Structure 1
C-alpha cells in the first residue's frame, strides 16, 4: 500500500468517526436542551457542537491522534484478496521482477469515498457561490435609501423577498418595496431585528457555519446543529429587540413576523451569507416565546451545561475511536523468501512476501551502490564524517565519527542522508529507477523517503533487487559492487557458506502504536559457486530489549545452515 492509499484510508475512517461523533453531540445537546429549555436560545453550544465535529474529523486524520485512543489496536487487513492468485502463475513462470501490487477492497472504498467527498465539497462551494451571486444581482437592482452613516447601507428592491441582512464583509440591509405597505411600527421593528443581527455579529457566525458545513457536508448532524444555531440567533434577536418594550410593541412585533409571510415568496438564496425570512414551521414557537419569554437567569446555567456536555462528548469520542494498525502488514506478518541467484527459482517462500512496507536500513545497500558508483564514497573507511548537532541521533553510537563500515554496521541514518543529499534528488531518483527498487516513490524526501515514508518495498521486490546485486547486473561500477559486498560481509558459517546481509528495523506501526515493530534481514549466501538470495521480514509484537532487525538476523543465521543443507541445486 502506498502513502496515498494509506492517507485515503485514514480519511475514510476519520469520516466514519465524524459521523459517530455527530450522533453523540446531537444526542447530548438535544437531551440538555430538553431539561434546560434556555439552552435553545444560546448560540454558543450549537456553534461549538459544529466545531467539535469538524475538529474530530480533522484530528482523526492525523497519525498522532492514535495516541489518544483508549481502545485496543484494531488491525485492518489491507492485502488484496487476489495477491496469492496473481503470485502463483508468476512463480510458476519463474518471474523474479516485482509484481504490481493490486489495491485492496478497503483501498478502493477509500478512493471512492475521497472522490465522493471532493464532489460534495465542490457542490457545497458551488451552492455558496450561486447564493452570493444571486444576492449580488438583487443588490445591483436596488435603490439606496438614506441611512445613518454608522449603520449598514439600506437598499430597497422591487422583488418578493423578505427583509434580509446581507454580508458579512460589506454588510447592507436589503428591504422589499412591499415593506412600505405594513404598519410603520411593524416595519421599524423588522428593521431593528435585522440590525440586531448585525450588531451581534451573527453574519460572522454564519460564515463559520458555511465553512464547517462545507468541510463536513456528509454529516447530517452538522445541518441539524446549524438549524438550531440559526433558531437560537433569531430568538436572541427577538429577545434583544423586545427588551424593555411595552406589551403593545411586543404584540406589534409578533404581528410583524406574521406580516412578513404575506410578501415573503422568495427567501434568501440557498447557502447565501444573509439573514432574513420567517420560517412558517417556527413562527408559532417564536410568537409563543415573545408572549412568554424564557427568563434570562437560566441562560448562564444552560450555557455552562452545554459546554460541559460538549467537552465530555468530544474527549470521549476521540478516546473511544478504535485505533487502527496502519500499513499493509497485519500483526502476524512473517515472510521467508529464498531464491536461486542464477536461475531466479523460488527455493523457499513462507508467509506473505508480496506486501510492501518501509525498507528502513536495508535501503542502505542501494545507497552504498549509489555512493560508491558516484564517487562520494571511496572505500570501506573513506570518507569518515564527524557527527554534528542537528543530525539524527536516535542511537548513542551515531554520535561519533562515522565511516562506511560503521555506517552499515550501526545503520547510522545521518550518514546515509549525507550521501543522498550530496547525490541530489534527481540522481537518487534515477538510481532508484534503474535499480527498479520497490515503488520508486521518493516524495517523502531524498533524506527520509525510506524511513516509514513514501518508499515501499516487498520482500519479493527486495529479493529481486538483491539477485541483481549478487549477479552484478545493476548499472553501477565494479568498484561499487566490490565495496558494497565488503561492507555487507558477515562471518562465514560453520559449513562454509559466506553470508552478506543487512538488517532493518522500524519501531511502531506508523500510527503512533509502538507496541509492534518491523524487522528486516536481507542478503545472500555463497558457497562452491552457488548463490542463494534471501529476504526475511517480520512485523509483530515489539521486543522491549532488542531491535527487531538484529534479533531477526540472529535467529535467521542460527537456522540458515540447516535450511541451506536441505536445498539441492534442482530445488
Structure 2
C-alpha cells in the first residue's frame, strides 16, 4: 500500500478558503490519496459521524433490536425542524437526530460503550464528557485516516460484531444509489467557542471497486453554515478527481 499526497486536492480546499484534509483509500489499486497529510493525521471530534458506531453498538447490545426500532419525540422543540417528531432508526440516521442517539447512548451505558470502542479500536476511545455528549463536546477524537480504516473494516465485515448489525448500518447510510455506483456516508458537525469541524465519511462502490473516504473541514466558529454544503461538494469533487465517482455524478 502506498500513499500519494494530492496537491491538486489541497488547491481545491484553498480555492474555497477552507482548511482541512481528505483521505481516500483505493483498495483495488493499493493507494491512499491524502490531501494535507498533517491535518489527516490529527484527531478531531467525530460529531455525528459517531452515529455509525453508535448504531452498531446499539444493535449488538440489543438496545436497538432491529431497523423498526423507534423513539417518541418528547415535545422539546429543537432548532432543526426535522428533529421535532418521532423517529425510527433509518430516519434518525438520515436526519442526524441528536436526541435519538443521545437516548441510544444512555441505554447502552458507559461500560458497554467503552468496551465496544476498545474492541473496535475507534479513535482514542475516550468517552469522557458524559455518555450522551462525549462524541460532540467530550474527549473522543478520531483522525481522517482512522475514519477511513473504520469504514474499510465495516465494509469488509472485519469489526468484532455480527454481519447482521453491519448490514443494517450499511443500508441506512446509503446517500445515493445508481446503476453506476453506491455512495454511502455520514456527515458530522462540531462547533465550539473557536472552531467548526465538518465531516463527511463513507464509501463508494463502483463496479468491482470500493473506495473509502473521509473529509474533514476546519473553520471558525462562525463558519458552520458555510461548511455544511462544502462537506458534500468538496467531497464529491475529490471523489471525482480520483475516479471514485463518475465525472457527471
Q: Identify which of 539, 558, 562 aligns with 2:218.
A: 539
Alignment of 1:393 onto 2:72: no
Deviations 1:493-538 (A, max 9, x none): 57x121110000113xx3x24xx52110000111223211000111
Write the distance in 1 (CA, Å) between the matches of 2:227 and 2:73.
Answer: 25
Match of 1:371 in 2: 58
**Correspondence 1:34-53 to 2 at 5 A:** none
TM-score, normalising length: structure 1: 0.38
Q: Tell me if structure 2 keeps the 8 A contact 1:524–1:533.
A: yes
SS of 2:235's partner is helix
Write the distance in 2 (CA, Å) between the matches of 1:435 and 1:545.
Answer: 30
Instruction: For CA contacts below 8 A with separation 6 or more, give which structure has more relative contact order.
Output: 2
Match of 2:170 in 1: 485
**Correspondence 1:495-506 to 2 at 5 A:** 496-506=180-190
Write the distance in 1 (CA, Å) between the matches of 2:157 and 2:100.
Answer: 25
> What is the deviation of 1:375?
2.4
Q: RMSD between aligned alpha carbons? A: 2.7
SS of 1:518's partner is strand
Structure richer in strand, relative to its length: 2
SS of 1:491's partner is strand
Alignment of 1:527 onto 2:206: yes
Number of equivalences: 231
The 3 A distance-change label for structure 1 pair 566 and 442 is closer
The 3 A distance-change label for structure 1 pair 353 and 447 is same
Deviations 1:352-395 (A, max 9, x none): 20111100000101011111222222333x222111156x8342
Q: Identify which of 145, 166, 174 aligns with 1:460.
A: 145
Q: Tell me if structure 2 keeps the 8 A contact 1:342–1:471.
A: no
Q: Tell me if structure 2 keeps the 8 A contact 1:520–1:548.
A: no
Q: Tell me if structure 2 keeps the 8 A contact 1:333–1:538.
A: yes
Alignment of 1:353 onto 2:40: yes
Higher alpha-carbon Rg: 1
Q: Which ranges of structure 2 fall in alignment gaps of 5 or more residues?
A: 4-16
**Correspondence 1:169-184 to 2 at 5 A:** none
TM-score, normalising length: structure 2: 0.83
The 3 A distance-change label for structure 1 pair 341 and 379 is farther
Deviations 1:105-154 (A, max 9, x none): xxxxxxxxxxxxxxxxxxxxxxxxxxxxxxxxxxxxxxxxxxxxxxxxxx
Q: Which ranges of structure 1 fall in alignment gaps of 5 or more residues?
A: 1-90, 94-330
